[in-house]
Amino acid sequence: MMRFERLPLLLAGLGLLGLSAAASRAEELPAPIQAAKARGAEIIGTFEAPGGLKGYAARYDGQGMALYLTPDGQHVLIGNLLDARGQDLTGPRLEELVYAPLGKEMWARMERSGWIADGSAAAPRIVYLFSDPNCPYCTRFWQQARPWVEAGKVQLRHIMVGILRADSAGKAAALLAAERPEQALHEHESAGKASTLEALAEIPPRIGERLEDNLELMNALGAMATPAIFYLDARDRLQQQQGAPDAAALAQIMGPR
């Protein structure tokens, strides 16, 4: 299982940017931080750091990044800060300032996306997955989830995309445009390879826009293939599972049986 709030480094190791502080002192942010911002870093907030450093929490390409302004205000260090015992001092601050708010933002975006429900609306647990109609691993996860869905404990929300084959978008559109999308999805997944789902030759504009929005959201979440599964853990932190899960990961995603 891959944690959504993992902490990749923008640079390999702890890098030093020798950035000039010649910019105007009227700037709200110090010049080295402004320079990092100009390179694409979105500054989220600040935090206290040891050694006279000042920490800035940032997002870069959808991931968390820490910037440490040196005491002279002339340079910025980018990366994870460790203490003498090797303890990571950066992770908790990025979790607080970047990943927790980002997870809530992405969960809200998934709620507003073009999904098809599988299971009771009263289910206490919600699990989202980006699903392609031609994806055999999506079908496998659909089958794995049956005990929880049929018991009313979990509702799966299939965010439909069309990326695997030439007719994937047409098939995804057919499911979204069906008179009863939930039933159409159930029939398609339960049939597996024997599914008779036909792709739409022409995708209605509103359905095409929905598919484009779903793919954009999938990319924003850093998902690379289907099924990309998203759920909230016991701390209400957003978690990701790429591909059909093994038994241990399935139990974490779906909760108690």
Q: How many domains does the chain have?
A: 2
- Of 126, 116, 102, give the one whose Cα is nearest residue 254: 126
Rg (alpha carbons) of the chain, rounded to whole number: 22
Q: Could you say which DSSP state residue 182 is in?
A: H
The pLDDT assigned to 73 comes to 94
Tell whether 188 is covered by a domain: yes
Question: Is residue 95 helix, strand or coil?
Answer: helix
CATH number at residue 35: 3.10.450.70
**pLDDT mean over 241-254:** 96
Q: Is the same domain home to 118 and 189?
A: yes
- Of 240, 233, 172, give the one whose Cα is nearest residue 204: 172
Q: Is the same domain home to 44 and 98?
A: yes
Q: Is the same domain home to 138 and 193?
A: yes
- pLDDT tens digits, residue range 27-73? 489 999 999 999 999 999 999 999 999 999 999 987 899 999 999 99
**pLDDT mean over 60-88:** 94
Tell whether 49 is covered by a domain: yes
Q: Is the same domain home to 78 and 127?
A: no
Share of the chain above pLDDT 90, in %: 81
**Rounded CA separation 27/202 (Å):** 52
Confidence of residue 248 (pLDDT cuts 50, 70, 90): very high
* Amino acid present at 93: R
Tell whether 1 is covered by a domain: no
Q: Which domain holds residue 69?
A: 15-104
Helices 100-111 and 205-220, interaxial angle, to 10°? 160
Q: Is the same domain home to 93 and 19?
A: yes
Which pTM value belongs to this model? 0.77
CATH number at residue 161: 3.40.30.10
The secondary structure of 2-28 as a DSSP string is B-TT----SSSSSEEE-----S-TTSS
The pLDDT assigned to 8 comes to 35
Question: Is residue 187 helix, strand or coil?
Answer: helix
Confidence of residue 15 (pLDDT cuts 50, 70, 90): very low
Lowest-pLDDT range of 57-66, 142-151, 159-168, 190-199: 57-66
Q: Which of 38, 73, 104 is the last residue of a domain?
A: 104
Tell whether 8 is covered by a domain: no
- pLDDT tens digits, residue range 186-224? 999 999 999 999 999 999 999 999 999 999 999 989 898
- Cβ pair 113, 143 in contact under 8 A: no
Q: Is the same domain home to 79 and 141?
A: no
Q: Is the same domain home to 152 and 50?
A: no
